[in-house]
Structures are given as structure tokens and as C-alpha cells.
């Protein structure tokens, strides 16, 4: 769990659980009459790969190009 702010400056709480616990979390929120702003799958690496500055720049350029494609919804990576 963590705190964050929306683009318009509102404070929000961010909950992250394992995929297998998602249903239990959703049920617990419903029981407390808490309506999430959004719920989505996010891939979080368990192992990151260290890269040098040149590699990081190349990967960042690739990610930027992928995000500009209207068919791409999200990009995940394990660059450390």
C-alpha cells in the first residue's frame, strides 16, 4: 500500500496485491463500501537487470516509441 496523488492533485491510496489475492481485496473493499477509482493488472519484476547509461537510453527510446503506438496500452520492463 502506498500514497500518491492524481494528476489534479487529489490524494489517493494505491493498493497492490498478488494476482491470486485480487478477488479477496475487491471483496474486502466492497464490504467497506469503498469504490476504487481503477483496478488493473500490472507486471512488477521480481528480478531487475542492471544496465549502463547507454543501454538505459536505448531502452527508454524504445519504450517511448512503443507508447506512441495507439495499439499499445502499457509497457512493462525489468530494467534496474
Mean pLDDT of the chain: 90
Residue 37 has what pLDDT? 87
> How many CB atoms sit inside 10 A of residue 41's CB?
8
Point out which residues pair with 13 in neighbouring strands.
3
Coil vs helix vs strand at 14: strand
User: What residue spans define the domains of the chain?
Assistant: 1-42, 45-80
The model's pLDDT over 29-57, given as tens digits with 9 standing for 90+, comes to 999 999 998 888 888 899 999 999 999 99
16-22-23 Cα angle (round to 5): 150
Percent of the chain having pLDDT more than 70? 96
* Beta-sheet pairing, 2-5 with 11-14: antiparallel
pLDDT class of 23 with cuts at 50, 70, 90 = very high
Percent of the chain having pLDDT more than 90? 66
Q: How far apart are CA 25 and CA 23, in angstroms?
A: 5
Amino acid at each position: 500500500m502506498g500514497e500518491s496523488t492524481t494528476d489534479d492533485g487529489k490524494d489517493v491510496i494505491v493498493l497492490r496485491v498478488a494476482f491470486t489475492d485480487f478477488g479477496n481485496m475487491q471483496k474486502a473493499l466492497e464490504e467497506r463500501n469503498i469504490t476504487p477509482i481503477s483496478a488493473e493488472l500490472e507486471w512488477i519484476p521480481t528480478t531487475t537487470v542492471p544496465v549502463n547509461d547507454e543501454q538505459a537510453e536505448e531502452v527508454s527510446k524504445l519504450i517511448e516509441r512503443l507508447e506512441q503506438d495507439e495499439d499499445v496500452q502499457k509497457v512493462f520492463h525489468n530494467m534496474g
